Structure 1
Amino acid sequence: MKKVLILGGGFAGVEAAIFLRKKGYSVTLISDRDYFYIYPTSIWIPTGEAEFEDICVPLKDLQEAHGFELIIDEVKEIHSKERRVVCANGEYRCEYLVIAIGSGKVKHEGSEHFLSICGKPEESLEIKERIDALIEKGGGKIAMGFGGNPKDPSNVRGGPAFEVLFNVHNELKKKGIRDKFELTFFAPMEKPGARMGPQALKMMDLFFNKLNIHKHFGKKIKRFEADGIVFEDDSKLESDFTMFIPAGDGHPVFRNSDLPLNEAGLIKVNDYCEVMHDYDETPEKYNVFAIGDSVALDGPDWRAKQGHIAEVMARNVAFNIDAIAKGSEERKGYLDHLNILCVMDSGDGAAFVYRDNKGGKMIPMPVIGHWLKKGWGWYCRNSKLGKIPRIPGM
Structure 2
Amino acid sequence: MTAATHAPIVVLGTGFGALSTVRALRAGGCTDPITMIGPRAELHYLPGTIWIPSGLRTRADLVVPLGNFFQRMNVQHHQASVTGLSDDGRVVHTTAGDVANHALVIASGARFIRKLPGIEHAVVPCEGIDAAERVRDRLRAMDGGTIAIGFGANPHEPSAVRGGPMFEFLFGIERQLRREGRREQFKLVFFNPSPKPGIRLGEKTVAQLLARMQRQGIETHLGHKMLRFEADKVVTEGGEFAADLILFMPGLTGPAWLEHSALPRSPGGMVAADAQCRVAGFERVYVVGDSGSFPGPDWMPKQAHMADLQAEAAAHNLLAELAGGRGERGFKVELVCIIDAIDQGTLVYRTEQQQIVLPPNRLMHWAKRSFERRYLRHYQ
Instruction: Give the counterpart of 2:334 among 327, 336, 339.
Output: 339
> Does residue 1:239 correspond to 2:240, yes or no?
no
Instruction: Give the counterpart of 1:61 among 58, 68, 71.
Output: 68
Deviates more, 1:84-93 or 1:74-83: 74-83
- 1:80 CA drift (Å): 5.8
d(CA) in 2 for partners of 1:376 and 1:90?
38
- 1:59 CA drift (Å): 2.2
Instruction: Give the counterpart of 1:186 among 175, 187, 191.
Output: 191
d(CA) in 2 for partners of 1:330 and 1:17?
17
> Does residue 1:110 correspond to 2:115, yes or no?
no
- 1:64 CA drift (Å): 2.5
d(CA) in 2 for partners of 1:203 and 1:384?
36
Instruction: Give the counterpart of 1:318 among 315, 320, 323.
Output: 315
* Residues 110 and 252 in structure 2, CA contact (< 8 A), matched pair in contact too: yes
* Residues 21 and 27 in structure 1, CA contact (< 8 A), matched pair in contact too: no
- 1:366 CA drift (Å): 1.4
* Residues 103 and 284 in structure 2, CA contact (< 8 A), matched pair in contact too: yes
d(CA) in 2 for partners of 1:289 and 1:162?
32
Report the secondary structure of 1:5's partner residue. strand
- 1:86 CA drift (Å): 0.8
* Residues 152 and 193 in structure 2, CA contact (< 8 A), matched pair in contact too: yes
Provide Cα deviations, 1:189-230, integer angstroms capped at 9, x if missing partner: 110011212211111122101211111111111111111211
d(CA) in 2 for partners of 1:2 and 1:90?
15
d(CA) in 2 for partners of 1:243 and 1:61?
35
Deviates more, 1:216-225 or 1:78-87: 78-87
- Structure 1 segments unaligned to the other structure (5+ residues): 278-282, 386-394
- 1:2 CA drift (Å): 6.6
Residues 80 and 358 of structure 1: CA distance in aligned 2, closer, same or farther (over 3 Å): farther
- 1:383 CA drift (Å): 2.9
d(CA) in 2 for partners of 1:133 and 1:297?
43
Instruction: Give the counterpart of 1:226 among 227, 231, 234.
Output: 231
What's the % identity of the aligned pairs? 31
The residue number in structure 2 matching 1:126 is: 134
TM-score, normalised relative to structure 2: 0.94
Provide Cα deviations, 1:49-108, integer angstroms capped at 9, x if missing partner: 100121111122321232211121111112260410111111100100111111121122
The residue number in structure 1 matching 2:59 is: 52
* Residues 151 and 264 in structure 1, CA contact (< 8 A), matched pair in contact too: yes
> Does residue 1:257 correspond to 2:261, yes or no?
yes
The residue number in structure 2 matching 1:160 is: 165
TM-score, normalised relative to structure 1: 0.91
Instruction: Give the counterpart of 1:307 among 299, 304, 307.
Output: 304
The residue number in structure 2 matching 1:391 is: none
d(CA) in 2 for partners of 1:147 and 1:380?
29
Provide Cα deviations, 1:343-364, integer angstroms capped at 9, x if missing partner: 1101121011011222422102
The residue number in structure 2 matching 1:388 is: none
* Residues 109 and 222 in structure 1, CA contact (< 8 A), matched pair in contact too: yes
The residue number in structure 2 matching 1:267 is: 271
d(CA) in 2 for partners of 1:80 and 1:155?
29
d(CA) in 1 for partners of 2:198 and 2:74?
40
> Does residue 1:377 correspond to 2:372, yes or no?
yes
Report the secondary structure of 2:127's partner residue. coil
The residue number in structure 2 matching 1:355 is: 350
Code of the aligned partner of 2:96: N
Provide Cα deviations, 1:244-263, integer angstroms capped at 9, x if missing partner: 11110121111111111112
d(CA) in 2 for partners of 1:82 and 1:303?
27
Q: CA RMSD in A?
A: 1.5
Residues 315 and 146 of structure 1: CA distance in aligned 2, closer, same or farther (over 3 Å): same
- Structure 2 segments unaligned to the other structure (5+ residues): 1-5
Report the secondary structure of 1:364's partner residue. coil
- 1:154 CA drift (Å): 0.2
